[in-house]
Structure 1
Amino acid sequence: MNEVTNLLMNHRSIRHFEDKPLSREQIETIVLSAQAASTSSFVQAYSIIGVTDKEKKAKLAEFAGNQSYVAENGHFFVFCADLHRHDIMGQMENKDVIPAIESTEKFMVSVIDAALAAQNAAVAAESLGLGICYIGGIRNDLEGVSELLKTPDRVIPLFGLAIGYPSKKNDQKPRLPLQHIYHENEYKQDEAVYREELEMYNKIISEYYDERTGGKRKDTWTGQIAGMLEKQTRMYMKDYVQKKKMDLR
């Protein structure tokens, strides 16, 4: 264990922030840390939009299901998969890059690049004593988000990252056991063992909720997540992505 691993293993989402903006130096440090993340073949297929306009933040909060911490934070970042610049570079270099940037592979590259950059940004922010919360809820209405942020074709807002000074810290939720997540040499295929591990984790999560809520809630993890997955949400996504001229081949 060291300072970095302690920081990583003590992560928790923060949903209550002080009314205090980040400094320009903090913002630039976070973005530069994001840019230092690994990127597939140096493609750098992502962009970051910082949202400071209060009306736009309020609208993003509305898109995200009226989550107040989308509007009330030190700074709100939107991470985007971005192959727009690659379209432009193809024109600059007189190269036919369209089949590649419209492929599922490059779409995956852009999503992975954005996620890697975002996690660097999150860790950098936490190292500065700030709190963070990822916001997938902006995908509830990507047409609205795209219009609000004026993202062109081949740019897809993926998620937000609210960062600020914590005014309240939430409890850390127990993660799945290491032996359930980590497979060595090949994927474990014994379903009985798999189910046993999930039942053990269900007990841990149920006890966590019971203690956190004073007995008002005793959810299991499999019950909670299966219930969520049973509800079909954001099923427009494939059409939206292809409308933005990505994931076409």
Structure 2
Amino acid sequence: MTDRPDPDLNDALMERYGDAVDAPDMPADVRQSLRRMASRGSCRRFQPTPVPDDLLQTLCAVALAAPTKSDLQQRDIVALKSEDRRARLADLVAGQDWVAAAPMVLVFCGNNRRQRLLHDWHDVPFANDHMDAVINAAADAAIAMAAFVTAAEAAGLGCCPISAVRNDAAAVSDLLGLPEHVFPFAGLAVGYPAHPPEIAMRLPLHVTCHVDTYREDGLKESVAAYDVRRARAQPYNRQRFVATFGTSDTYGWSEDKVRQYSQPERAEFGAFLRARGFQLD
């Protein structure tokens, strides 16, 4: 793997957001940690080197040390160590061919089952059988996955989330043996990067970071400027649904996202959750 020069924290933030962010003085080790986080990127090409079991277990332990709603601990990690299982999962996430080449794939799951079992064991009714049960478990899984990514990248690994495990959540659940009230939240491909990941540009902070109250002043203009900046530096290598929309000379982030969500995605996920015993009221 050829290393790219590591940007300074301020340079990484400028590259990410297009705005100057002057980080305050801080100890060098803290600045280095923040620099790694600011310059991270999703990794879809991996070296064939396997992830050592002891490292994987350590990273899972660190991830599950992350915050959890009310100490309910409603998340689980399924590590697909079997090459056959990884291949079967790759077949279920259409359009994600790189998943099959990942040395390790994890699936982060929301788990409301344990809480319900506690109520059964203590013979106390479960009084929160509504939409918040899903949100709490999904948030717990998301927090754990974010912590795993941060820990894994600090250890020299690369990661890329796989939301497509929800494309056919029932089949993925069957593959993993998930019972009622447990659902796949997201997969995560993990391995040693074959090349340094690119810093993906983000919307400027004045669009997404608010003070005291949410605002949308100048949002359309800010998105348009972001489209231009990103298209110049990181153009898309293909345009979505050309047969429907044609080819655009000014194709940018906003148009890509509009085209993506012009087609239904995971419309059956609510029905899947209901079939798994959740009430979504």
- After TM superposition, the score normalised by the length of structure 1 is 0.92
The aligned residue for residue 208 of structure 1 is 233
The aligned residue for residue 121 of structure 2 is 92
The aligned residue for residue 236 of structure 1 is 268
* Cα shift readout 1:152-185 (whole Å, capped 9, x = no counterpart): 0000001101110111234222111011111111
**What is the total number of aligned residue pairs between the two structures?**
243
Q: Secondary structure at the residue paired with 2:172?
A: helix
Q: Of 221, 240, 246, which aligns to 1:196?
A: 221
* TM-aligned CA distance change 1:65 to 1:218, over 3 Å: farther
The question of 1:157 aligning with 2:157 is answered: no
The aligned residue for residue 32 of structure 1 is 61
Identity %: 26
For residues 206 and 157 of structure 1, what CA distance do their matches in structure 2 show?
34
Q: Post-superposition shift, 1:212?
A: 7.8
Contact 1:209 1:219 survives alignment (8 Å): no
Contact 2:207 2:216 survives alignment (8 Å): no
For residues 236 and 142 of structure 2, what CA distance do their matches in structure 1 show?
33
For residues 248 and 231 of structure 1, what CA distance do their matches in structure 2 show?
23
For residues 76 and 55 of structure 1, what CA distance do their matches in structure 2 show?
12
Counterpart residue identity of residue 10, structure 1: S
Q: Secondary structure at the residue paired with 2:41?
A: coil
* TM-aligned CA distance change 1:84 to 1:179, over 3 Å: same
The aligned residue for residue 75 of structure 1 is 104
* Cα shift readout 1:65-84 (whole Å, capped 9, x = no counterpart): 15233222232110001011
Counterpart residue identity of residue 221, structure 2: E
The aligned residue for residue 226 of structure 1 is 258
Q: Post-superposition shift, 1:52?
A: 1.1
Q: Post-superposition shift, 1:87?
A: 1.6
Counterpart residue identity of residue 266, structure 2: R
Counterpart residue identity of residue 88, structure 2: K
Q: Post-superposition shift, 1:33?
A: 1.1
For residues 88 and 181 of structure 1, what CA distance do their matches in structure 2 show?
39
* TM-aligned CA distance change 1:211 to 1:71, over 3 Å: closer
Q: Secondary structure at the residue paired with 2:194?
A: strand
For residues 167 and 155 of structure 1, what CA distance do their matches in structure 2 show?
34
* TM-aligned CA distance change 1:129 to 1:189, over 3 Å: closer
- After TM superposition, the score normalised by the length of structure 2 is 0.82
Aligned-residue RMSD, C-alpha: 1.9
The question of 1:169 aligning with 2:202 is answered: no
Q: Secondary structure at the residue paired with 2:43?
A: coil
For residues 216 and 43 of structure 2, what CA distance do their matches in structure 1 show?
36
Q: Post-superposition shift, 1:248?
A: 3.3
The aligned residue for residue 44 of structure 1 is 73
The aligned residue for residue 116 of structure 1 is 143
The question of 1:126 aligning with 2:153 is answered: yes
Contact 2:40 2:198 survives alignment (8 Å): no
More displaced stretch, 140-149 vs 201-210:
201-210
* TM-aligned CA distance change 1:211 to 1:75, over 3 Å: closer
Counterpart residue identity of residue 91, structure 1: D
List structure 1 runs of 4+ shifted beyond 6 angstroms.
Answer: none
Q: Secondary structure at the residue paired with 1:162?
A: strand
* TM-aligned CA distance change 1:3 to 1:17, over 3 Å: same
Higher helix fraction (1 or 2) = 1
The gaps in structure 1 that reach 5 residues or longer are none
The gaps in structure 2 that reach 5 residues or longer are 1-8, 10-30, 239-248
Q: Secondary structure at the residue paired with 2:184?
A: strand
* TM-aligned CA distance change 1:66 to 1:180, over 3 Å: closer
Q: Post-superposition shift, 1:39?
A: 0.6
Contact 2:76 2:109 survives alignment (8 Å): yes
* Cα shift readout 1:25-83 (whole Å, capped 9, x = no counterpart): 21111101111111110011111100011111111111111523322223211000101
Contact 2:236 2:252 survives alignment (8 Å): no
